[in-house]
Chain A
Amino acid sequence: MKTLEIPTFECETGNYHTFCPISCVAWLYQKIEDSFFLVVGTKTRGYFLQSAPGVTIFAEPRYAMAESEEGDISAQLNDQKELERICLRVKNDRNPSVIIWIGTCTTEIIKMDLEGIAPKLEKQLGIPIVVARANGLDYAFTQGEDTALAAMTHRCPESNHRITDQEEVNTAKVILVDTAPNNNLFGQKNKLTKCNLVLFGSLPSSVASQLNLESRRQSVSVSGWLPSQKYADLPALGKGVYVCGVNPFLSRTATTLMRRRRCQLIGAPFPIGPDGTRAWIEKICSAFDLKPEGLEERESRIWKSLSDYLEILTGKSIFFMGDNLLEISLARFLIRCGMVVYEVGIPYMDRRYQAAELLLLQRTCEKMKKPMPRIVEKPDNYSQVQRMHELQPDLAITGMAHANPLEARNIDTKWSVEFTFAQIHGFVNARDALELVTRPLRRKGDSIPGCRNLSKQTVNV
């Protein structure tokens, strides 16, 4: 992978608001149906899970806290015994197929040896225990999923690839398989290329099947997903398996897949927006030496269907404060929609993993004749707000902590977390993504006199 030199990179103080990476529990436990997530840490983390990600807690969630008390911190209690007691209870109450320990800042600071204890307890309890260190010392928000998936890669079975050693040079991945020719709905070719393609990133199952379908249209079959719907169905990995990410925050997982499981990474832009989806599929096709078919028409058809939203967006300006790492892809998509992006704040920028996405961003800017936005890594929220007062963007994509105050200062906002939870991947969901972006712009109406600028403080810029 090449890294791309982009002149507009900046790095600020890192005084920004984001969710703690343990929040990944909130969506991962729903994705992996037979899992149980145990967050090991103090009350601070537990209170975060129950107050920030919201109501899901009441639906008998398959996650809980192993709450460290004073005795644990001062090592009066034995970590292993304590965890054993708790995991035994979890096993009896819920009988999960896997327990995932989420290490937090607390376990980092007191250096609790989760990775050391896990294999011992795993043997004792007979349940796999996966350890993911999703802590706020090192990571932001969605990177929590990255650590969890990276930890899970080690649990994927070894692929017993049908290719024998002598064929390995060829790394041949093309085995033609006949499928039932009865369904000609999509003008599908009657053969499907049997590729060893594993996609990684947690998506709602319907979005995952949509992406499966997209690649099937190009005769590429997806052999598995990391994570899978069930822990038992984790995809096989190994040499000769191609992997491709669907989300921009999965750089650790990508690295682990390449280095530890010797998979081949397809570095592609991410399937967010029709432009992203097309580039993503094209990149996958090129990895398998296939010529993508009908993609261009398909993309333009989707764009046409978005015309009413594009009308709203064209010429409007947007400011990303940055908190979930989806920012680059979203900015690229929105520039293609005709928006002007002032600033892309982002917690962490992996230039290698996101290289293809950055390149697409640059090309999109050229194509749309828009300035390349400044990309600010580890932003400083206070300075950003000052900049926003100057720039007066039409829309700010921001965390929940800043949304209401900005609205009161006459800046329309959209909660960035919604992009993490909404379905925004693939051709089919492009409309949903724009539905989110345009919502604050559509509802704009100054029917109530004096309803703008409602801050109680005086704004000193």
Chain B
Amino acid sequence: MKLAYWMYAGPAHIGTLRVASSFRNVHAIMHAPLGDDYFNVMRSTSERERDFTPVTASVVDRHVLARGSQEKVVNNISRKDEEQKPDLIVLTPTCTSSILQEDLQNFVDRASLSSESDVIPADVNYYRVNELQAADRTLEQITRFYLDRSRKQNILDRSVTNKPSANIIGIFTLGFHNQHDCRELKRLPGELGIAVNQVIPEGGSLKYLKDLSRAWFNTVPYREVGLMTATFSEEEYGMPYISTTPMGISNTADFIAQIGKLVNVWTSAISEKKFNYELYVDNQTKFVSQAAWFSKSIDCQNLAGKEAAIFGDATHAASITKILVKEMGIRVSCSGTYCKHDAEWFNEQVQGLCNEVLITEDHTEVGDTIARIEPSAIFGTQMERHIGKRIDIPCGVISSPVHIQNFPLGYRPFLGHEGTNQIADLIYNSFNLGMEDHPLDVFGGHDTKEISAKSLSTNRKNINWTPEAESEPKKIPGFVRGKIKKNTESSAIQNNISEITIDVTFVAKEKLSP
């Protein structure tokens, strides 16, 4: 057993559900007790999703515990099949079903006999993998299922497209700025003369998966999800892939260079033409992305040598570390990730860029490290933002887990050239606010302090608050407290009451209602 207050990566089934519900017309059925379908809440509130989350629970209750699921799961699958006619139903195991050791494969076999939809069990071990690993695995499983089947049915089109094209793998629901990154990633190849063949899983349709291998190559923008699918496609279908994350100027340039290489292998064979992207990269870096200029500008000079601490998922933490150190000249005292399973890669990436590397899933360890280092700014997850608040250090949020405020409506990619602009803003604003604070401290703060300290309530000369009653307004949210106090006092004056007791506060509240 482990004492845990908070966790960075969620449980495995969340990953499976995220992938399943990102595809179009795929339904997931969880084998879980009542209340475990909170994934629907997360998706509906954080993503502000307009449609019902295609996830239902086959509820495990006392009866199931006593007699096993028997027909229940199968019935629930058939019911969904009839009601919503999904292309695929993914039976999702949870911790409960793995402890109960029910034979999900058997349910699936029985259900597929009668249902029109395809039915597969998510092949995920709850106790061995986390949310991200499970998502990676599920995406591979679904892709493999459809590619293999089309191959067996001989409908798999293995001819590459006439024009160069690419798949984007790993964009999915509840991903950190994934929607915006996706738009940026579709635009980028477009400018390079490369079509986007398919984006999976987000918005992907299973019936087109058979054409997945027609793309010239795959791109996997995030390390956490999609690599398994990419390596599988490479092994079985000979599709090359790019796993560089185009985040930051140099990584984006590197990404484009790799595209050039892959594309030219074919174009030179087909038409003896060669793409040269050097000029494009140069132009983008100089004129579209402001980040290169920004790092030359006097603003960024002020940042030189400042210290930062970084924590997040492997992709974002590593990329941001590179950007801070190589592109902005900021010292990174500590860089870390909670993706323990990918520690080796992470270490390799940030090697030589930071003083210490932190691989942990324990947020208190992260908090302690940050408190010890006392950086000028933190770049981390929602948790680091709160740590920063506590110890008064500004924080830019660069990675999941996040709140609803990190699902912005406006266009905020982290990838590509527009992404470099967004990141530069984020970094600069975090530091700038930090600097602004210090002069304030030195000069004793804004001189409005005295004004704001003045009570907003009416003249209190003749009015006494009993200590008990005094504590009452404190229970009211701060922003209305002044108003309530004032109303209470004026109500007391009206009634010729000189001492405000707890009863008077309630009477006043009642009267307040018109």
Residues of A within 8 A of B (CB): 14-23, 40, 42-44, 46-48, 50-52, 55, 57-58, 61, 64-70, 72-73, 77, 82-83, 85-86, 89-90, 105-106, 108-110, 135-141, 183, 185-186, 204-206, 209-210, 213, 302, 305-306, 308, 382, 385, 399-405, 408, 427-428, 431, 454-457
Q: B61 contacts the other chain (Cβ, under 8 Å)?
A: yes
* Chain B 171-213 interface residues, beta-carbon cutoff 8 Å to A: none
Asked if B507 is an interface residue, CB under 8 A from chain A, the answer is: yes
Query: Residue B99 contacts which of A89, A110, A302 (CB distance < 8 angstroms)?
Result: A110
Establish whether residues B95 and A404, one from each chain, have CB atoms under 8 Å apart when the complex forms: no
**Closest chain B residue to A71 by CB distance?**
B1
Least CB distance, B353 to chain A, in whole angstroms: 29
Report how far A255 CA is from B61 CA in the complex, Å. 22
> Which A residues are CB-close (under 8 A) to B38?
19-20, 48, 51-52, 401
List of B residues within 8 angstroms of A66 by Cβ: 1-4
Closest 9 CB pairs of A and B: A20-B35, A136-B33, A401-B40, A408-B50, A82-B1, A42-B95, A43-B11, A136-B35, A58-B386
Report whether A431 and B503 are in contact in the complex, using a CB–CB cutoff of 8 Å. no
* Cα(A193)–Cα(B183), bound, Å: 71
| Bound: A399/B5 CA distance, A | 25
Given contacts A44-B94, A70-B128, 17 further A-B contacts (CB under 8 A): A14-B61, A15-B57, A19-B35, A43-B11, A47-B7, A64-B5, A66-B3, A70-B127, A86-B3, A109-B65, A186-B507, A209-B502, A302-B510, A401-B37, A401-B38, A404-B44, A408-B50
- Given the known interface contacts A43-B10, A44-B94, the answer about A136 and B386 at a Cβ–Cβ threshold of 8 Å is no
Q: Is B34 an interface residue (CB 8 A)?
A: yes
Find out whether the CB atom of A69 lies under 8 angstroms from the CB atom of B36. Answer: no
Task: Name B505's closest neighbour in chain A (CB-CB).
Answer: A206
B160 within 8 A of A: no
Cβ contact of B10, chosen from A47, A139, A206, A382, cutoff 8 A: A47
A185 near B503 with CB under 8 A, answer yes
Least Cβ distance of A421 to chain B in Å?
13
Interface string of B258-284 (1 = CB under 8 A from A): 000000000000000000000000000
Q: Are B50 and A400 in contact (CB under 8 A)?
A: no
- Taking a contact as CB atoms closer than 8 A, the residue among B51, B59, B383 that contacts A408 in the complex is B51
Given the known A-B contacts A20-B36, A83-B1, A209-B502, are A204 and B475 also in contact in the complex, defined by CB atoms under 8 Å?
Answer: yes
Could you say which residues of chain B place their CB within 8 Å of the CB of A186?
503, 507
29 A-B pairs with CB atoms under 8 Å apart are A14-B61, A15-B76, A19-B38, A21-B35, A22-B35, A43-B10, A44-B94, A48-B35, A48-B36, A50-B7, A51-B41, A57-B5, A65-B4, A66-B1, A89-B3, A136-B60, A138-B62, A140-B34, A141-B35, A186-B503, A210-B506, A213-B506, A306-B513, A308-B514, A401-B53, A405-B51, A427-B510, A428-B506, A455-B51
Contact with A along B416-458 (1 / 0, CB 8 A): 0000000000000000000000000000000000000000000
Q: Are the CB atoms of A405 and B2 closer together than 8 Å?
A: no
CB atoms of B42 and A51 under 8 A apart: yes
* B residues less than 8 Å from A405 (CB atoms): 44, 49-53
Interface residues of B in 1-50 (CB under 8 A from A): 1-7, 10-11, 13-14, 32-38, 40-42, 44-45, 48-50
Q: Looking across the interface, which residue of chain A has its beta carbon closest to that of B501?
A: A183
Task: Answer yes or no: B472 CB below 8 A from chain A CBs.
Answer: yes
Q: Are B503 and A64 in contact (CB under 8 A)?
A: no
Q: Cβ of A408: which chain B residues have Cβ within 8 Å of it?
A: 50-51
> What residues of A have a CB within 8 angstroms of the CB of B507 in the complex?
185-186
| Residue from the list A19, A57, A305, A401 in contact with B6, Cβ < 8 A | A57
Whether a CB of chain A sits under 8 angstroms from the CB of B325 is no
Q: Are A137 and B514 in contact (CB under 8 A)?
A: no
- Could you mark each residue 73-108 of chain B with 1 if its beta carbon is under 8 Å from any beta carbon of chain A, else 0? 000100000010000000000111001100000000
> With A and B bound together, what is the CA distance between A15 and B31 in angstroms?
12
Q: Which of A44, A109, A185, A385 contacts B36 (CB under 8 A)? A: A44
Taking a contact as CB atoms closer than 8 A, the residue among B4, B56, B509 that contacts A67 in the complex is: B4
B504: Cβ under 8 A from any A Cβ? yes
Q: How far is the CB of A183 from chain B (nearest CB, A)?
A: 7
Bound form: Cα–Cα A64–B1 in Å: 12
Q: Which residues of chain B come closer than 8 Å to A402, judged between CB atoms?
A: 40, 44, 52
Contacts of B45 in A (CB 8 A): 400, 404
Point out the residues of chain A lying under 8 angstroms from B472, CB to CB: 206
Instruction: Kindly list chain B residues whose C-beta atoms are within 8 Å of the C-beta of A209.
Output: 502, 506
Find chain B residues with CB under 8 A from A72 CB: 1
Inter-chain contacts of A109 with B (CB < 8 A): 65, 96, 99-100
Interface secondary structure of B, over-half rule? mixed
A106 pairs with B3, CB closer than 8 A: no
CB of B2 within 8 A of CB of A69, answer: yes
Q: Which of B464-514 contact A (CB under 8 A)?
A: 472, 475, 495, 497, 501-504, 506-507, 509-510, 513-514
Residue contact B44 to A14, C-beta cutoff 8 Å: no
Query: Do the beta carbons of A65 and B50 come within 8 Å of each other?
Result: no
Instruction: Return the chain B residue nearest A188 by Cβ.
Output: B503
Q: Does A137 lie within 8 Å of B3, measured CB to CB?
A: no
A90 neighbours in B (Cβ, 8 Å): 3
Set B2, B51, B495: member contacting A457, Cβ < 8 A:
B51
Are A106 and B95 touching (Cβ within 8 A)? yes
Closest to B49 in A: A404
CA distance A20 to B65 in the complex (A): 17
Q: Are B13 and A44 in contact (CB under 8 A)?
A: yes
Please, how many angstroms separate the alpha-carbon atoms of A457 and B85 in the complex? 13
Q: Which of A47, A69, A206, A305 contacts B1 (CB 8 A)?
A: A69
B58 to A, closest residue via Cβ:
A15
Which of B44, B49, B62 has the most C-beta atoms of chain A within 10 angstroms of its own C-beta? Answer: B44
Contact between B51 and A456, CB atoms less than 8 A apart? yes
B38 nearest CB across to chain A (Å): 5
Tell whether A401 pairs with B41 under 8 Å between CB atoms, given A135-B33, A136-B33. yes
Task: Give Cα A232 to B475, complex, Å.
Answer: 22
Residue numbers in A under 8 Å from B57 (CB-CB):
15
Chain A residues within an 8 Å CB radius of B503 = 183, 185-186, 213
Interface centre among B10, B52, B403 (most CB of A within 10 A): B52
Q: Are B1 and A67 in contact (CB under 8 A)?
A: yes
Residues of B within 8 A of A50 (CB): 6-7
- With A52-B42, A185-B497 already in contact, the answer to whether A137 and B61 are too (CB < 8 A) is yes
Q: Please measure, in the bound complex, the distance between the C-alpha atom of A204 and the C-alpha atom of B2, giving whole angstroms.
A: 32
- Nearest to A47 among chain B residues (CB) is B10
Residues of B within 8 Å of A68, CB to CB, are 1
Give the distance to chain B from A26, nearest Cβ to Cβ, in Å.
13
Give complex CA distance A308, B513 in Å. 10
Q: Are B504 and A69 in contact (CB under 8 A)?
A: no
CA distance A400 to B41 in the complex (A): 5
User: Which residues of chain B have C-beta atoms less than 8 A from A16's C-beta?
Assistant: 34
CB pair A52–B33 under 8 Å, yes or no, is: no
Q: Which residues of B contact A55 (CB under 8 A)?
A: 403
Taking a contact as CB atoms closer than 8 A, the residue among B35, B36, B44 that contacts A403 in the complex is B44
Q: How far is the CA of A392 from the CA of B501 in the complex (A)?
A: 48
